[in-house]
Amino acid sequence: MRQARKHPSGRGFQRLAMEKLEDRSLMAGNVTAVVTNGVLVVTGDTADNGITIDYNQTTDAYSVIGTTPTGSTATTINGLDTSVPANAQIFNNVTKGIRVIANNGNDLLVFGAATSTSFVVDGFVDIQMGNGNDTVTIGRNGNAAGGAAPIANEFEVGTTMAIKLGSGNDTLDITNASIARDLTIHADVNNPLNTATDGNDTVRFPTTFTPSGGELTAFPVTVGKKTTVLLGGGADTFNGANLRARGGMFVQDLGANLNFDLVDTVVGGELKLQKTGGSANDILIDNVQAGTLRISTGNAVDTIAVRDSIFERMYIESGGGVDRITIGNTRVRKLGLIDGGREKARLIQEGGNTLRGVVKIKTFTN
C-alpha cells in the first residue's frame, strides 16, 4: 500500500480525490409491449413515456412506437430504439382489445401515426394513465390520404372504451371516432376528492377541420351506448362538439370551477350535467338535441346558457349563488322545470323560445 506523504510540518495528509457525481441527465423511459390472450398490453415505467400505437389495415397488425415527450428523452419499446427500422415492434393476433397502463410520469399517448388513415380495434380499449401531467390523443382530423399534413385518421372501437387519466393536469382529445358501446372517461380517478391536489383537467372533442382548399368539415365522435365523463376536484374544462351519444350522456364535475361547452350534438335519451362546488362556473348548451336535459349546479355563482336546442323535457336546478340562466331559441316539447334556487337566480328569456309545460318555481331576480 502506498503510504501517505508527510506534510512539511511533519503531519501526514491524504491526497484529495474527485468524487464522481450522480448523473443528473433525464432517464429514458422504457415501455413493454406484449400480446397476452388476444390483448395488446402496453406498460410504461415511472419515467416520462412517449407512446404512439399505430395500426396497419392491410396486415391487421399494430405497431408500438417510442416517441419523445416534451422536455424528456426518446422512449424505448421493449428496450429498443424504434426509430431504427430493424427494431420495429409489430404485433399480430390482437383479437380482444388494447390495454395501456402508462404508470407515473408526464406521459404522451397517441393513437395513429402521422401517415396512417385508420385505427381499428375489434374489442375494447382500456387506458390507465396514472399520476402525472398526461396527454392523450385519439383520432385525427385532416386531409385525405396523399394530401398535405395532417392526414385524417378514423378511430374505431368494436366494444367499449374506458379512459382513466389519473391525478395531475391532464389533457384528452378525441375526434373522428366511433365506439360501438360505452365510452367512460375518469379524471383524477386515482385520488379521492381533494380540491387542493386534484389536477386541472381538459377533456375535448375537437371535431372540426378545414381541409386544404375546402370548407369547415365535421369529424364527429359517435358512441353507440352511454357516454360518461367524471371530472375531478380541480378547475376543469369540457369542450364537446359534434357528438352522437346514442345511449345518453352523463357529465359530473366536483370541486373547483368548470368551463363546459357542448355544441352541435345529438344525445339519445338523457343529457345530464351535475355540478357541485366551485365558483363562477360557465355552462353553454348550444344546438343540442336530447330527450331530456337535466342541469344541476352547486353552491356557486354560475352562468348557464341554453340556445338553439330541442328537448322533450328540460329541468334546470340552480343551487346557491345568484346564478344567471339564459334560454334562447329553444324548444321544449312536453314539460320541464326551472328552479332559481334559494338565492334567486336571474332568468333571461331571449327570443324564439317554445317552452311548453315548463314551470318556473322559486322567485327569480329581475
The pLDDT of residue 360 is 84
Instruction: State the pTM of this model.
Output: 0.90
Which residues are paired to 229 by β-bridges? 185, 251
Average pLDDT rounded to a whole number, residues 316-342: 90
Determine, yes or no, domain membership for 284: no
pLDDT level of residue 27 (50, 70, 90 thresholds)? low
Determine, yes or no, domain membership for 296: no
Contact 165, 184 (CB under 8 A): no
Determine, yes or no, domain membership for 142: yes
Cis peptide before 211 (omega within 30 of 0): no
The pLDDT of residue 8 is 40
Find the helix or strand (DSSP H, E) in which 97 lies.
Answer: strand 97-101
3-state helix, strand, coil in the chain (%, to 5): 0, 50, 50
pLDDT level of residue 304 (50, 70, 90 thresholds)? very high
Side-chain half-sphere CA neighbours of 212 within 13 A = 10
Count the Cβ atoms, other than its own, within 10 Å of residue 146.
8
Measured over all CA atoms, what is the biggest interatomic distance in the chain, rounded to whole angstroms? 106
The residue that leads in pLDDT, 350 or 276, is 350
C-alpha cell at 57: 389495415
- How many separate domains does the chain show? 1
Q: Return d(Cα 179, Cα 31) in angstroms, integer.
A: 26
The pLDDT of residue 72 is 87
Lowest average pLDDT, out of 97-101, 148-152, 231-235, 240-244, goes to: 231-235
Count the Cβ atoms, other than its own, within 10 Å of residue 98.
26
Count the Cβ atoms, other than its own, within 10 Å of residue 84.
8
Determine, yes or no, domain membership for 33: no
C-alpha cell at 134: 398526461
Q: Return d(Cα 12, Cα 183) in angstroms, integer.
A: 75
Determine, yes or no, domain membership for 349: no
| DSSP letter string, 32-82 | EEEEETTEEEEE--SS--EEEEEEETTTTEEEEEEE--TTS-PPEETTB-T
The residue that leads in pLDDT, 199 or 326, is 326
Determine, yes or no, domain membership for 164: yes
The pLDDT of residue 197 is 57
Q: Return d(Cα 236, Cα 254) in angstroms, integer.
A: 9
Determine, yes or no, domain membership for 246: yes
Question: Can you give the residue range of the structural domain that contains 226?
Answer: 40-256
Contact 133, 199 (CB under 8 A): yes
The per-residue pLDDT for range 86-135, each reduced to its tens digit, is 999 999 999 999 999 999 999 999 999 999 999 999 999 999 999 999 99
Determine, yes or no, domain membership for 118: yes
Dihedral sign of CA atoms 57, 80, 139, 214 in order: negative
Contact 83, 90 (CB under 8 A): no
The per-residue pLDDT for range 169-226, each reduced to its tens digit, is 999 999 999 999 999 999 876 444 454 557 899 999 999 999 988 999 999 999 999 9
Q: What percent of the chain has pLDDT over 90?
A: 73
- 152 pLDDT higher than 90: yes
Nearest CA to 244 among 273, 270, 223, 216?
A: 223
